[in-house]
Amino acid sequence: MTQAKSNGSGFGRREIEKALVASIRKLDPTYLLRTNIIMLIVEVTAVITGAMAIDPAAFHGLTTQPVWIYVALTVILLLTVWFATLAESISEVQGEARVDSLRRLEQDVQARKVVDGNIVVVPSKSLLPGDVVRLRPPEIVPRDGVVLEGTAYLDESLMTGESAPVVKKVGDSLIGGTTVTSDALVMRIVAESGRSYLDDMIKLVEGAQRPRSPNEISLNLLLIGLTGIFVLVVGTFLVLADSLGYIVDLAILLSFLVALMPTTVGGLLPAIGIAGITRVGRANVVAKSGKAVEAAGDVDTLILDKTGTITQGQRSVKRFVPLEGFTEADVAQAAFVASALDRTPEGRSVVEVATSLGQSLPLTPRILGGKAIEFSAETRLSGVELLSSFGSNPTRRPPLPTVAPEIAQGPVWKQLVEFEGSQKPERILKGAVDAVLPTASQVNKAELLWKSQEISKQGGTPLAVAVGPRIIGLIDLRDQLKPGIKGRLAAVQSTGIRTVMVTGDTEITARVIAAEAGISDVIAQAKPADKLTRVKQEQGLAHVVGVEGDGTNDAPALAKADVGIAMNSGTAAAREAANMIDLDSDPSKVTKVVETGKELLMTRGAITTFSVTNDVSKYFAIFPAMLPASAAAQKLNILQLHSPVTAILATMIFNAAVIPALIPLAFRGVKFRPEIPERTFIRNMLVYGLGGAVLPFIAIKGIDIVLTWVIH
Confidence band for 628, pLDDT divided at 50, 70 and 90 = low
Work out the average pLDDT over 520-526.
84
Residue 3 has pLDDT above 50, yes or no: no
- The Cβ of residue 645 has, within 10 Å, a number of other Cβ atoms equal to 22
pLDDT of residue 74: 93
Mean pLDDT, all residues of the chain: 79
Residue 181 has pLDDT above 90, yes or no: no
CB burial of 27-60 (b: ≥16 within 10 Å; e: otherwise) equals beeeebeebbbbbbbbbebbebbbebbeebeeee
Q: What order do you get walking across the sheet with 426-432 strand by strand?
A: 316-322, 470-478, 461-467, 426-432, 381-386, 371-373
pLDDT of residue 101: 60
Per-residue pLDDT reduced to its tens digit, 344-383: 778 888 888 888 888 887 777 667 777 888 887 678 888 9
- CB within 8 A of 12, min separation 6: which ones? 6
Confidence band for 81, pLDDT divided at 50, 70 and 90 = very high
Work out the average pLDDT over 503-510.
80
> HEC string of 225-259?
HHHHHHHHHHHHHHHHHHHCCCCCCHHHHHHHHHH
Q: In angstroms, what CA-CA distances link 646 with 81, 169, 444?
A: 21, 71, 94
Work out the average pLDDT over 409-430.
73
Lowest mean pLDDT, pick from 251-260, 393-402, 548-557, 642-651: 393-402
| 97, containing H or E segment | helix 67-105
Top-confidence residue, 624 or 112 = 112
pLDDT of residue 634: 60
Lowest mean pLDDT, pick from 106-120, 387-401, 419-433, 618-632: 387-401
pLDDT of residue 388: 58
CATH fold of 316-478 reads Calcium-transporting ATPase, cytoplasmic domain N (3.40.1110)
Dihedral angle sign, alpha carbons of residues 78, 86, 269, 672: negative
| Cα–Cα nearest to 282, from 157, 195, 167, 174 | 157
Per-residue pLDDT reduced to its tens digit, 659-695: 888 888 888 888 877 777 778 788 888 888 888 888 9
pLDDT of residue 644: 77
Confidence band for 133, pLDDT divided at 50, 70 and 90 = very high
pLDDT of residue 555: 81
Per-residue pLDDT reduced to its tens digit, 63-73: 777 888 889 99
List, in sequence order, every residue forming a beta bridge with 118; answer none if it has no partner. 115
> HEC string of 14-33?
HHHHHHHHHHHHCCCHHHHH
Helix (H, G, I), strand (E, B) or coil at 208: coil
Q: Outline where 244-315 has alpha helix (H).
A: 250-260, 263-282, 290-298
| 466, containing H or E segment | strand 461-467
Confidence band for 100, pLDDT divided at 50, 70 and 90 = low
Determine whether 614 is exposed, middle or buried from the number of CB atoms within 10 Å of its CB (0-12, 13-18, 19+). buried
pLDDT of residue 5: 37
Confidence band for 6, pLDDT divided at 50, 70 and 90 = very low
Residue 90 has pLDDT above 60, yes or no: yes
pLDDT of residue 421: 62
Confidence band for 134, pLDDT divided at 50, 70 and 90 = very high
Residue 513 has pLDDT above 50, yes or no: yes
Q: In angstroms, what CA-CA distances link 436 with 463, 465, 467, 473, 526?
A: 9, 8, 11, 11, 16
Per-residue pLDDT reduced to its tens digit, 188-201: 888 766 666 666 65
Top-confidence residue, 708 or 294 = 708
Confidence band for 24, pLDDT divided at 50, 70 and 90 = very high
Measure CA 4 to chain center: 23
Packing angle of the helix pair 250-260, 214-243 (nearest 10 deg): 150
Work out the average pLDDT over 455-461.
84
Domains 295-312+481-582 and 316-478 share a fold: no
Residue 222 has pLDDT above 90, yes or no: no
Top-confidence residue, 278 or 264 = 264
Per-residue pLDDT reduced to its tens digit, 565-590: 887 766 667 777 888 888 766 766 77
d(CA 504, CA 609): 46
Domains of the chain, by residue range, sit at 13-98+207-283+596-711, 295-312+481-582, 316-478
Measure CA 128 to chain center: 33
| Cα–Cα nearest to 328, from 428, 476, 483, 228 | 476
Catalytic residue numbers, as ranges: 305
CB-CB contact of 167 with 106 (8 Å): no
CA contacts within 13 A on the Cβ side of 433: 28
Residue 470 has pLDDT above 60, yes or no: yes
d(CA 551, CA 335): 28
pLDDT of residue 194: 61
CB-CB contact of 475 with 351 (8 Å): no
pLDDT of residue 77: 92
Top-confidence residue, 77 or 414 = 77
Query: Into which CATH architecture does domain 295-312+481-582 fall?
Result: 3-Layer(aba) Sandwich (3.40)
Confidence band for 413, pLDDT divided at 50, 70 and 90 = confident
